[in-house]
Amino acid sequence: MTSTSYLEQQLRSLRMAETAGRLPELITEAERRDVSYQEFLASILNYEQKRREEKQIERFMKWAAFPYHKTLEEFDVREQASLSQKQLNQLKELTWMEQLYNIIFLGPPGSGKTHLSIALGMEAINRGYQVSFLPMGELIHILKTTEIIRKSQMRKKRILKSDLVIIDDLMYMAMNQNEANLFFQLINELYDQSALIFTSNKGPNDWGDLLGDPSITTAILDRILHRAEVVHLDGDSYRMKHRKSIFGDEENADVYMVT
């Protein structure tokens, strides 16, 4: 009779380590239910596939480097009059991503731009896509240090392998010519290869002032806007509207405002 330890070794040699670690429990469960050989084999394969998918999601979530986790279900459309539930559902379908469209979320701070971009990124990961999330300042640092810092080199490789790249707070600061050139090179490499999400409180018409060089601005806009949907988010800041106070719900809790 073949021992369980031998079967575990065989499974590991076939790169089915997840099933090997759970094999005794799977055998016990099969004996208890008196399943057929075919059902037992199916249960083993299903378990291995499920665990691989779960580990891939865990790995992709780590690589994405989201600052926090948000879901589309947590986004309250009632707080954002400029975005309908139908439009949110269309974004969730990710058809735009498969067609290599770009999404630009424009709006003031607290309007939900970053929440939506992270939520769409997490949705993509749950469907098996690889995602990279980068604040604009961090992205520029990576591009400037790729040649000298191994960590930046590894991060850029992951960016270029990503199916979806999210750049948060695009154009929040002016770039010098070298930074603008590096940013253009990245956009050019991602063009027709990955879908992009940008969040910004400045519209494309204002980007030229921050990039400086008109030719670089034109080249970047040409690639970003070729296939793009611009989503304008407005209204009051969600964070300020739902901010917590150390005074609880007392009547004077909103007296003090930071300016």
pLDDT digit string, tens, across residues 69-102: 999 999 888 877 788 889 999 999 999 999 999 9
pLDDT, position 66: 96
Mean pLDDT of the chain: 86
Q: What is the pLDDT of residues 36-78, one digit of tens each?
A: 889 888 988 898 888 889 999 999 999 999 999 999 999 888 8
Say which residue, 156 or 10, is predicted with more confidence: 156
pLDDT band at 251 (very low <50, low <70, confident <90, very high): very low
Query: Considering the entire predicted model, what is its pTM?
Result: 0.79
The residues facing 229 across adjacent strands are 103
Domain with CATH 3.40.50.300 in the chain: 72-241
Say which residue, 81 or 28, is predicted with more confidence: 28
Flag whether pLDDT at 187 surpasses 50: yes
pLDDT, position 235: 59
pLDDT, position 171: 77
pLDDT, position 242: 43
pLDDT, position 21: 86
Q: 3.30.70.120, 3.30.450.20, 3.30.2010.20, 3.40.50.300: which CATH number matches 72-241?
A: 3.40.50.300
Average pLDDT on 196-203 reads 91
Flag whether pLDDT at 158 surpasses 60: yes
pLDDT, position 79: 77
pLDDT, position 238: 46
Average pLDDT on 126-135 reads 96
Report whether 184 contacts 217 (CB < 8 A): no
Phi, psi (5° rounding) for residue 144? -80, -20
What torsion, rounded to 10 degrees, do the Cα atoms 19, 24, 25, 27 define? Answer: 90
Flag whether pLDDT at 249 surpasses 70: no
Report the distance separating Cα 66 and Cα 131, nearest Å: 10
For helices 113-126 and 37-64, the axis angle rounded to 10 degrees is 150
Average pLDDT on 96-112 reads 92
- Strands 131-135 and 228-232, how do they pair? unpaired
pLDDT, position 1: 56
